[in-house]
Amino acid sequence: MILPIVQYGHPALRQKGAEIHEVTDAVRQLVKDMIETMHAANGLGLAAQQVGKALQLTVLDARKSDRPSQLFLGVMEMPLDSMMPLVLLNPKITRLEGGEIGQEGCLSFPKIYLDISRAHTIHVAAIGLDGRSLQFVATGLLSRAIQHEMDHLQGVLFIDKVAPAALEPLESDLQKLKIQTLAELKKKKRKKPRG
């Protein structure tokens, strides 16, 4: 099922995600829906906060982009096809290497792109959908996407990562988006049946 993606201004985007202690049927269903939602939106990654759930859960798929990505299990580079879509529960970054500036978008900020500085290479420890621990190294676009999604899991957004001057030209677009999101939230609340 394709889920609605919440937009900037929605309070869920500022919530820190709770850790997942058990891979239940509900978690598996949410993951399935999030992957479907990410693919339908042509996204590279989607965090649980973006579908209104404050959990330490993100899904990613870096296969479609022409910007290079690598994923290593130990010293072995894995074909992306064998690892994507990638599901990360309770992810942690254990090591960061290098840095580079690159363009990022976000499904919760339609048509807004920002140059963000991120580590080039990250070492990640997470739990996979099978409940087992998963450790890997990611580089390039995949590394960037994981860092972006992991910020979401802490309630941090990409607009928080740039200097105020970089946001100035976007100020009115951001304000409009926020007002629209809040108006839609109000409408939904009103529509809720009583009792």
Question: Is there binding between residue 6 and Zn ion (CB under 5 A)?
Answer: no
What's the min distance (Å) between Cβ of 186 and Zn ion? 24
Nearer to Zn ion, 31 or 106 (CB): 106
Applying CB under 5 A, what is the total number of residues that bind Zn ion? Answer: 1
Question: Is there binding between residue 106 and Zn ion (CB under 5 A)?
Answer: yes
Give the tokens for residue 146.
């994981």
Question: Is there binding between residue 34 and Zn ion (CB under 5 A)?
Answer: no
Which distant-in-sequence residues (6+ apart) come within 8 Å of 47 by Cβ?
17, 57, 58, 149, 152, 153
What's the min distance (Å) between Cβ of 29 and Zn ion? 22
**The one segment of 61-69, 75-83, 106-114, 166-174 that binds Zn ion by CB under 5 A:** 106-114
Cα(103)–Cα(110) distance, rounded to whole angstroms? 14
The single residue of 19, 36, 97, 149 carrying the catalytic annotation is: 149
CA nearest to 35, candidates 82, 83, 90, 85: 85
To the query of whether residue 149 is one of the catalytic residues in this protein, the response is yes
Nearer to Zn ion, 139 or 147 (CB): 147
What's the min distance (Å) between Cβ of 80 and Zn ion? 20
Query: In Å, what is the CA distance from 141 to each residue of 19, 69, 146, 158?
Result: 25, 5, 9, 15
**Eight-class DSSP state of 168:** G
Judge contact between 70 and 136, C-beta under 8 A.
Answer: no
**The one segment of 13-21, 25-33, 103-111, 187-195 that binds Zn ion by CB under 5 A:** 103-111
**Eight-class DSSP state of 1:** -
What's the min distance (Å) between Cβ of 55 and Zn ion? 15
Which residues does the annotation mark as catalytic?
149
- Which parts of this chain interact with Zn ion (CB under 5 A)? 106
